[in-house]
Structure 1
Amino acid sequence: MESCFRIIQQIRLFVFVFVFVFCLCSYCQPNSFNNAGDYKSKSFTETEILKCFLEGRCGPNGVTSTNGFQIPPTLVSGLYAWYPLDGDINDKSGSAHHGYFPGGIWPATTGPSYSLSRSHLPNGTASFNGTDQYFGSDFTPLCNEDFAIALWIFPNNATNNQIIGFQQAIGYNPGPRLLLDAAGHFEFSAFFSFWGNSSVTVGTSSTVLTANVWTHITYVHNGATQQGTIWVNGVGVGVTSDFIPSGDLPYVTGCITGSSPLPWWTGTPLNIGYGFANPRFFTGRMDDIWFFKGRQLSASDISTLMSLP
């Protein structure tokens, strides 16, 4: 019995030494220590390093981490905002582009509620009731710039469900927006308007989405061509093109630069969970919303996003 106890003690010591040595090497970095405690104390440092490792706050070199959230290095460039939606609408990219409640002309809201995430973590994903829950972001996509939007959705209704949208006011022509159309296709569209001339950039997925199933959707925009690619679950399933609304000749061709008026109806807020057409509110759940500005995402980048917990 005493021999078994001694063996167990030796195993525990070995595990502790291994963890400690691992965390002291160049492949393990505590993100930061808090301000409490004596930094000159060896025992305090050892304890904090061990805690960092056990709590999953230590990461390999080259990985950006904010408040314990690790961002793969391939996703750092051009990252405007990342909303994990783990109980709040804060931006965890490190840029402090936090979500907010627009107010003013927009419907009053207290934001989404929170429920089990895709990996069954409590309060790990945002739930939208389709009635009065949404939030705003200052992300402003432009037609002549590279950008990308990626997120997980769990739509309770796979048709006529607004996901994200911008418009200057309720009932005004929509700027960039993401939605599920009347047939269940994922759609990106944006309205051009320039002194009475207009057209729409629009594209839909060739696949039909299913209600009450987690689906990863991505829109990647090419500023040079002023068109984009639609991805569903990591597969490119559609491209956009310019559409001329009936009766709107003459029409806009290509992207108009300048600030007055802008090429798309743009500005802030970009409403998450609210869009142009009735019914205006999203019903379902969203998780891990990523906004990139000044870069396009590759198939590999999208695969990386989908692999994150």
Structure 2
Amino acid sequence: MVNHNFQITERFLVLAFFFCLTFFCQPISFNNTGDYESSSYRETKILQCLLEGSCTLKNASKERSYQIPASLVSGLFAWYPLDGNSNDMSGNAQHGYFPGGVWPVTSGPSYAVGHSNLTNGSASFNGTNQLFASDFVPLCHEDFAITFWINTNLTSNNRILGYQAAPSYNPGITMTLNVSGYPEFLSFWIASGGNTDGLMVTSSSVVPANVWTHIAYVHNGSTRQGTIWVNGVITGNTSNFGAYAGCTTGTSPNQWHNGTPLNIGYAYPSQFYVGMLDDIWFFKGRQLNESDISTLMSLP
């Protein structure tokens, strides 16, 4: 005897499978990026999403994959996806925290849609009392890199992140949008006895308001200089300012003012950041090249 109910169910699944292929259904997430190349894996996941009712349209936002591309593993200190929290997803447990002590009381940023349209996929800062901290410490005689996505309606004189020993103290490094709206990296030297000598790079490209823009600073420890990138293109190179020539060679080079915490969403002169940040990456002991930055920009 033929089981008609089984035949109907089987036919339904086959029809649903081809319907899903036709209309570009996708599972909500693929967490093993290597399996994207396997057609059998895709077909299995499509059937799974049909049975679970979890298919989404092809261009809908998807759950983020936290698998780090092999090219970005070396030298990675911390990665803050900022998906509803300030956890480090690099595997190094360098989680963001509230600095406390002399620093402003904060409950941390709120969260908003990220650069890849992921709900609660970015940190949103109100410019009044929201920040968090990291233990990332860049040194002037070492290779390092800082990258992130930014989206703000305040494109003039907007502090993004920076070091200080305490509020209103001399800064170490800061990343900011300057008074003209250009991304800028600044560092100030301990040896100068003040904050008049240092290193500066200003981008030649402004950051447009209310648009996601990718920014990176890449530092060369050998030359004690660096470059700033905007949307994957070099837009500025550092130069020294003041009488002090910069980081010296040897086992104890003169350094920028540094130490923990690195405040994110707050910087000299005691000014809070206004806007959203997404996907902050910190690297130590390596520089990033054009391919690396392109890879970072392509991640969801």
Say whether the fold is shared (TM-score over 0.5).
yes
Unaligned runs of 5+ residues in structure 1 are 15-22, 30-45, 56-66
2:41 equivalent in structure 1: none
1-side partners of 2:255 and 2:148: how far apart? 25
The aligned amino acid for 1:130 is G
Is the contact between residue 193 and residue 252 of structure 1 (CA under 8 Å) also seen in structure 2?
no
Note closer, same or farther for the CA distance 1:13–1:161 as it changes in structure 2 (3 Å cut): closer
Asked if 1:205 corresponds to 2:198, the answer is no
Q: CA 1:13–1:172 in 2, change beyond 3 Å: closer, same or farther?
A: closer
- The equivalent residue for 1:255 is 248
Measured after TM superposition, the shift of residue 136 of structure 1 is 0.3
Distance 2:109 2:10 in 1: 54
Residue in 2 that maps onto 1:34: none
The Cα shift of 1:176 comes to 1.4
**What SS class does the counterpart of residue 206 from structure 1 fall into?**
coil
Q: Is the alpha carbon distance of 1:104 and 1:12 closer, same or farther for their aligned partners in structure 2, counting shifts above 3 Å?
A: same
Does 1:264 pair with 2:261? Answer: no
State the Cα distance separating 1:262 from its structure 2 match: 5.0
What is the number of residues matched between the two proteins? 263
RMSD (Å), alpha carbons: 3.1
Paired with 2:121 and 2:177, the residues of 1 have a C-alpha distance of 23
TM-score (norm 2): 0.79
Q: 1:139 and 1:6, CA in 2 relative to 1: closer, same or farther beyond 3 A?
A: closer
Corresponding residue of 1:292: 283
Q: In the TM superposition, what whole-angstrom CA distance separates every residue of 1:10-29 from its partner, at most 9, and x where no partner exists? A: 67899xxxxxxxx9xxx549
TM-score normalised over the length of structure 1: 0.77
Please state if 1:304 is matched with 2:295.
Answer: yes
Distance 1:221 1:97, change over 3 A: same
The answer to whether the aligner puts 1:103 opposite 2:100 as a matched pair is yes
Alignment of 1:178-189 (within 5 A): 178-189=175-186
What is the CA-CA distance between 1:255 and the residue it aligns to? 3.1
Percent identity among equivalent residues? 55
* CA distance in structure 2 between the partners assigned to 1:108 and 1:13 by the alignment: 53
Instruction: Give unpaired runs (5+ residues) of structure 2.
Output: 19-29, 37-43, 55-63
* C-alpha displacement of 1:156: 2.0
1:252 Cα deviation (Å)? Answer: 4.4
> In structure 2, what is the equivalent of residue 240 of structure 1?
238
Kindly provide the amino acid, as one letter, of the partner of residue 138 in structure 1.
D
1:117–1:123 CA contact under 8 A, matched in 2: yes
Note the C-alpha offset of 1:292. 0.4
| Rounded Cα–Cα distance in structure 1 between residues aligned with 2:115 and 2:92 | 25
Could you tell me which of 147, 151, 172 is aligned with 2:148?
Answer: 151
Q: Secondary structure at the match of 1:126?
A: strand
1:210-225 alignment runs, 5 A limit: 210-225=208-223
What do the CA deviations read for 1:112-171 (whole angstroms, capped 9, x no partner)?
000111232221110000000000000000000000000000022001000010011111
Partner Cα separation in structure 2 for residue 194 and residue 140 of structure 1:
18
